[in-house]
Structure 1
Amino acid sequence: MKKVKKSKRTHLKALACLGVSCLLWAAPASALVQDITAVFRPDASKPDENTFTNTTPVTGYCQMAPGQCADNKTFSIRLPVSAQSSGPLMAKPADPRQGAYWKAPAQWRSVTVVNMFGEEETVELRISGIGSRHQFDRHVAELVGGGVSALQGHQRLWVGSSWVNPPSPCRYSGVGFYGDFTYQFLWKTPVEEGCAKIPNYPIPDMRYEYLDIAYELRTPNPLTMSTGVYSGVLNFGIGPHQDFDFGDVMLPNDSQLMLSFTLDVQHILKVDLPPGGERVELLPQGGWQAWLQHGRPPARLLRDQTVRLTASSRFKMLLECSVIAGNTCGLKNGAGEQVPVQVAVTLPSGLSDGAGQSVNKRPLRLDGSGTELFQPSSYVDNRPAVLHFEVAKDDVGTMLSHPGSTYSGGVTVVWDSEV
């Protein structure tokens, strides 16, 4: 197989459709299914890259010309969709649909993907390139009268030279590969309009061996999605006047392409306590010395406990208490006397509440009010968060009226990713 680069002297000719074909076409009942897969895994080395990674295997044109695809930021899938001419392609037909006509769904299409809980997100896709390898039943030089090389034959056979030079509005994508009977190509499709390659000579028989598509994806923000798998289906018609349209002479072997989307969201939500951090002792600011030496009652009892937080998903926070005191937890002495303990949280930058506000000493309550939703704007990796525990002044007075008592209670802070 030989490779050819685009000629700088090429002139493209845009042809308007001049009529309506009367060719009858019977659509096959078959449909082709192609998986499109993408995954989100947070990366501590790239906390601001909050996007899905397309994990669909690259096949087709980009396997043969990876440099061209990398330069154009495209990748391809090869589909087993072939097309066969139903009759000869005439030389310079008045109707471009009677030549080698190509049109792809180049506009953005939307598909709804849903997880097992019924949560919906939107994925968008557009076909940014189309290609194939066309094959003749005889040497290409024979089609143009003989006496030329294969490359010259391909160049003379078509208006605007060989298929490395696409007709407008399709655009050049890199290189083409030719043989004595074949030509492999990929054209960019910036708009959803037909691209007609017009033969200069009659072509008795032509076949497209497969369909290469290059595509672009727009995926939702994974940081706003729940952990799990989201799936959905996008359908395209194949054939005359369908989404993938090869004109009225080249008839495909499939009538429908079904793209099956699977988006896998693999979030992390982890909280690490320092050694001994599960035991919290509440003390006056500066310790008990002012009370023991001077009899000055403390204004409050408090303790700030730092934890290390890793989060790529939205979450909510709740309290669970061994002693309940209204809408918060309580501490109780041996005589059953109890006082409330106020619990609050401060979250690191990169996390905000549902209104986009930073979280600084946000109260935690048993009913969950005020902490129903926290969401990351970027991946938060092993950052410090603070749990604040406090007994207010009036409640400290109650405790001091029972000297020699020890007040204790269990406070469980819940970080729940099921929002």
Structure 2
Amino acid sequence: MKGTPTIASCVLSAACFACLPPVDAATLDITAQFRADSSKPQLNTFVNTTPNAGYCVQFAALCQSAGIFSLSLRTGASGGPIQANHEDARQGAMLKVPANWRRADVIHSGTGHTEAVEVRVVGIGGAIGLTPNATEIVGGGVGEETAYNMIFGSSWWHAPGPCTSLGSSISHAWFFWRASVEDVCAKPSRYLISQFKYQDLSFAYELRTPNPLKMAGGQYRGSLTLGIGPGRDFDFGDVVVPDDSALTLNFTLDVEHVLKVEIPPGGNRVELEPREGWQAWLNNGSKPTVLSRDQSFHISTSSPFSMKLQCRYMAGTECGMTVPGSGIYYPVDVYVTLPDGLTNTSGQPVSRRHLPVSGFANPVQFLPVRYIDRKPGTLHFQIRSSSVAAMLDREPGAYFGSVTVIWDSEV
């Protein structure tokens, strides 16, 4: 009669730690948020949550279709006189905005990790004021539309190159100019203007944000200061002087990740056995060489995460199994296979990646290529052949151990 097979069993626990998110010059706040949404797994970008002000409030549909947003500049500009038929654009009414991308670093409030945000201004508008008014400047006797045409060649709404008009005209003094390049847009005057003024200015901007799937959850903050005045980011020329010399943009990016691991009912108890079962040994004495078991799980994540082990018993630097009271411990190797869309830090698929024990090696890190919504993965438990041979040479018994697998988004 053959001896009773040695049975190795391991109690598996799973722990998930999901990381949730917990103004002198003129200042403006720009906010954006990434919140993982299982109903929209393809949406892996930040959403600009900054309330529009100025132009894009009035022309919301146009801005939305163009992918732009607007904010009030919170500064005006005025000056004079502007001489008639001036040859230098800087001596008249002109505009130049920061149409090239500007970078700002944003820093995680907890870890200090830095990412980059980029912003560019793609349009500017508001209203102009003339003193005396347009009709008086040209000597009277004509309507306002004709007066603007006489002074500037067209109403102020018609943009000079390289700017282009955006939206529709609501008055001859109102305008919004699209700026596709960082260059001067000027409308020389054919008449003497005693005083020229920009008022109720707003600007349209585009925002370029980092990949949230590569960012830890939490809040990132940073700022960018743009100069206002002659030769600076917002430039109104040499005659028209701004009320402020700088504009500071304060950026806040909120990242709310999902990290959820589901182990099926009963999956926390793992019994390791030969691949062909114990019957071969019972029937013909053929000793098994490896004891193993695969345990499936489902994972949902939008977050970079790490994995590591904690053990009740140790066998060297690995989790151990023992017959209670024997004082002898045998190592259990634990590996993980992750679903398509999750990679290691080198961008490679994850197949049977060895998991280290906390305290003996750094956790292994994994990155999502896209939002992963309840996809299957596998934990592989295995006792090496040398240990199996030693276990089978001892008196038959039941070996026990406890392994806690930790999925941790706080990488």
Class of the TM-score when normalised by the shorter of the 2 chains: 0.7 to 0.9
Unaligned 5+ residue runs, structure 1?
Answer: 1-29
Residue of structure 2 equivalent to 1:222: 212
TM-score normalised by the chain length of structure 1:
0.86
**Cα distance, 1:238 vs. partner?**
1.2
Report % sequence identity.
46
**Equivalent residues of 2:158, 2:175 under 8 A apart:** no
Counterpart secondary structure, 2:177: strand
Measured against aligned partners, the alpha-carbon deviations of 1:76-134 in whole angstroms (never above 9, x if no partner) come to 1112211222x332322122222211111111111111113221111111111111211
Task: Work out the CA distance in 1 between the residues paired with 2:308 and 2:350.
Answer: 15
Residue of structure 1 equivalent to 2:7: none
Unaligned 5+ residue runs, structure 2?
Answer: 1-23
Residue of structure 2 equivalent to 1:385: 377
Bigger mean CA offset, 39-48 vs 74-83? 39-48
Specify whether residues 368 and 340 from structure 1 end up closer, same or farther in structure 2 by C-alpha distance, changes over 3 A only.
Answer: same
Task: Work out the CA distance in 1 between the residues paired with 2:150 and 2:124.
Answer: 23
Residue of structure 1 equivalent to 2:348: 357
Residue-pair matches, total: 385
**Cα distance, 1:233 vs. partner?**
1.3
**Equivalent residues of 2:223, 2:249 under 8 A apart:** yes
Task: Work out the CA distance in 2 between the residues paired with 1:287 and 1:148.
Answer: 101
Matched, 1:63 2:57: yes
Which residues of 2 match residues 15-94 of structure 1 at below 5 A? 30-85=24-79, 87-94=80-87
Residue of structure 2 equivalent to 1:200: 190
User: What amino acid does structure 2 have at the position aligned with 1:338?
Assistant: Y
**Equivalent residues of 2:96, 2:185 under 8 A apart:** yes
Task: Work out the CA distance in 2 between the residues paired with 1:53 and 1:368.
Answer: 40
TM-score normalised by the chain length of structure 2:
0.88
Measured against aligned partners, the alpha-carbon deviations of 1:178-226 in whole angstroms (never above 9, x if no partner) come to 16xxx22111112222111122333333322222111112211222211
**Equivalent residues of 2:356, 2:364 under 8 A apart:** no
**Cα distance, 1:34 vs. partner?**
0.5
- 2:280 aligned residue (290, 310, 327): 290
Residue of structure 2 equivalent to 1:178: 171
Counterpart secondary structure, 2:287: coil
Higher relative contact order (CA 8 A, sep 6+): 2
| Superposed CA RMSD | 2.0
Residue of structure 2 equivalent to 1:189: 179
Counterpart secondary structure, 1:155: helix
**Equivalent residues of 2:120, 2:205 under 8 A apart:** yes
Residue of structure 2 equivalent to 1:306: 296
**Equivalent residues of 1:32, 1:257 under 8 A apart:** yes
Task: Work out the CA distance in 2 between the residues paired with 1:97 and 1:237.
Answer: 17
**Equivalent residues of 1:318, 1:368 under 8 A apart:** no
User: What amino acid does structure 1 have at the position aligned with 2:91?
Assistant: Q
Which residues of 2 match residues 198-347 of structure 1 at below 5 A? 198-334=188-324, 335-347=326-338
Task: Work out the CA distance in 1 between the residues paired with 2:39 and 2:88.
Answer: 56
**Cα distance, 1:60 vs. partner?**
0.6
**Equivalent residues of 2:131, 2:193 under 8 A apart:** no
**Cα distance, 1:248 vs. partner?**
2.1
Measured against aligned partners, the alpha-carbon deviations of 1:233-257 in whole angstroms (never above 9, x if no partner) come to 1111112222211112222211110
**Equivalent residues of 2:122, 2:204 under 8 A apart:** yes
Task: Work out the CA distance in 2 between the residues paired with 1:62 and 1:149.
Answer: 30
User: What amino acid does structure 2 have at the position aligned with 1:65?
Assistant: F
Task: Work out the CA distance in 1 between the residues paired with 2:239 and 2:317.
Answer: 75
